[in-house]
């Protein structure tokens, strides 16, 4: 049979030095893009937690979506470049004592004393640093806040007081666990005035 002595595969064209380098660079870029799934979670030196029952958690006058909202205040031992905040809510679901968790929605704010700005109409300003939900109520369990020294209201410094307002949109007898991770000490304030 005629043509049987030809190879069954096509010849692969040879790449010159420039083309070979370009292909290698493109493959490396694609590999790096495929492997980069995001940043690693930041590791903090200290973790601080406060546990409160629903009965002992202070109520906030400023509500989240017109629902019962609780508040906790804290201070930092020194300036913090970043910190993470998370809140879990557990309740006893049935007579067997099985515990369930409920989604918690929260807002972290820096309290600004407005007396230094000579504004007689406003005693405090609450500058939002972050929240764990968006406009569609999609939420994250934990959020990481990054200090911004250029904007004084977003700078997480040791001289300021911060508050977290939180809600579960439910009335179960919850036990809340508020966790703050930072590279410094955190003091929870029970009776903030």
Q: Which domain holds residue 160?
A: 46-189
In a domain, 20, yes or no: no
In a domain, 18, yes or no: no
pLDDT for position 8 = 46
**pLDDT tens-digit readout, 5-31:** 554 444 445 545 555 444 444 444 434
CA distances from 161 to 28, 174, 189 (A): 48, 26, 9
In a domain, 81, yes or no: yes
In a domain, 56, yes or no: yes
Rounded CA gap, 25 and 19, in Å? 10
pLDDT for position 57 = 94
Rounded CA gap, 119 and 107, in Å? 25
pLDDT for position 190 = 83
In a domain, 67, yes or no: yes
In a domain, 148, yes or no: yes
Q: Phi and psi for 161 in degrees, rounded to 5?
A: -110, 145
The CATH number of the domain holding residue 104 is 2.60.120.380
Three-point CA angle 184, 103, 101, nearest 5°: 95
Beta strands 99-102 and 105-113: pairing type?
unpaired
In a domain, 154, yes or no: yes
pLDDT for position 27 = 47
Give mean pLDDT in consecutive 10-residue pieces for the chain, a chain of 193 residues.
Answer: 49 51 46 42 87 94 95 96 96 86 96 77 88 94 92 90 96 94 94 72
> How many structural domains are present in the chain?
1
In a domain, 177, yes or no: yes
């Amino acid at each position: 049979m005629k043509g049987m002595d030809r190879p069954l595969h096509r010849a692969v064209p040879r790449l010159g030095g420039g083309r070979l380098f370009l292909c290698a660079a493109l493959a490396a870029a694609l590999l790096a893009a495929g492997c980069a799934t995001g940043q690693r979670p930041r590791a903090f030196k200290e973790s601080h937690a406060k546990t409160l029952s629903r009965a002992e958690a202070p109520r906030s006058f400023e509500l989240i979506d017109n629902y019962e909202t609780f508040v906790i205040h804290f201070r930092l031992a020194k300036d913090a470049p970043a910190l993470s905040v998370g809140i879990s809510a557990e309740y006893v679901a049935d007579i067997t004592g099985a515990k369930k968790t409920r989604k918690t929605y929260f807002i972290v704010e820096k309290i600004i004393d407005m007396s230094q700005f000579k504004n007689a109409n406003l005693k405090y300003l609450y500058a939002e640093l972050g929240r764990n939900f968006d406009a569609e109520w999609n939420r994250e369990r934990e959020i990481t806040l990054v200090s911004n020294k250029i904007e004084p209201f977003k700078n997480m410094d040791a001289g300021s007081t911060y508050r977290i307002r939180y809600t579960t949109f439910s009335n179960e007898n919850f036990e809340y666990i508020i966790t703050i991770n930072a590279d410094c000490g955190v003091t929870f304030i029970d009776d903030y005035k």
